[in-house]
Amino acid sequence: MSLESGIDTIVEERLVQAVFGVTNVIDDAAWEWQYASHLKETYTPSELIASYSRYRGDEGSFETKLRRIIFRAMCKQAGHALRVEPEVILKHPETMVLGDGVFIGAHTMIQGRFDGTCHIGNHVWIGPHSYFDARNLILEDYVGWGPGAKVLGSAHTGVPIDVPIIATSLKIEQVVVGYGADIGTNATLLPGVRVGAHSIVGAGAVVTEDVPDYSVVAGVPARVIRYRK
């Protein structure tokens, strides 16, 4: 015990059981699905987004459940036990497919495109303040996404060079994060990369090329520092 503060000082490391990755998905009530279907059939996509925006920042179990229902109505598909924390922003949710047991942390932005595809698998955990260029994105099952991590799925060609870069054409490339991979806090994935299954991307890393399965990468640009097997 600290003599100055009177507060016990814990020096031992603790190993506790994971929560999100081992929790069984409990199916949402049938009325939630019926209500979501009614909303999708009754309102336009822009009206649904406006409704979602009214509850986007609210706390509380009722608001959380209502946000999930409207979210499901907005998306192409969203599975059971979806949890959407406050202030999550979506662009073109009608292009998005989400599996069961997805968690989306607060202040995350998922930016789709009207002709894009975004697939988020089962049991995916997304930390707060994350950003996704989701114009051609696949997150496979059991992906862990650290707070503040980002994925960029497109880049300007920059040609011709006498034209402002932001006025040149965009090249959209698919980004894939494989089964069971884990992306560190504030890491960034660049367009066209594939992060292999069961691999780890270190905090703050910038991934510029494919990451092998079962590897650990770190740095800028990210390099393999070891393999997990």
Strand partners, 72: none
> N- to C-terminal Cα distance for the chain?
41
156 is catalytic: yes
The two three-digit tokens of residue 150, written as one number: 């980002």
Q: What is the DSSP string of the chain?
A: --TTT--PPP-S------SGGGPPPPPPPHHHHHHHHHHHHHS-HHHHHHHHHHHTT--SHHHHHHHHHHHHHHSSEE-TT-EE-TT-EEESGGGEEE-TT-EE-TT-EEE--TT-EEEE-TT-EE-TT-EEE-SEEEE-TT-EE-TT-EE--EEE---STTS-GGGSPEEE--EEE-TT-EE-TT-EE-TT-EEPTT-EE-TT-EE-S-B-TTEEEETTTTEEEEE--
Residues 6+ apart with CB under 8 A from 66: 55
Annotated catalytic residue: which of 80, 92, 129, 156? 156
CB count in 10 Å sphere of residue 218: 17
Give me the active site residues, please: 156
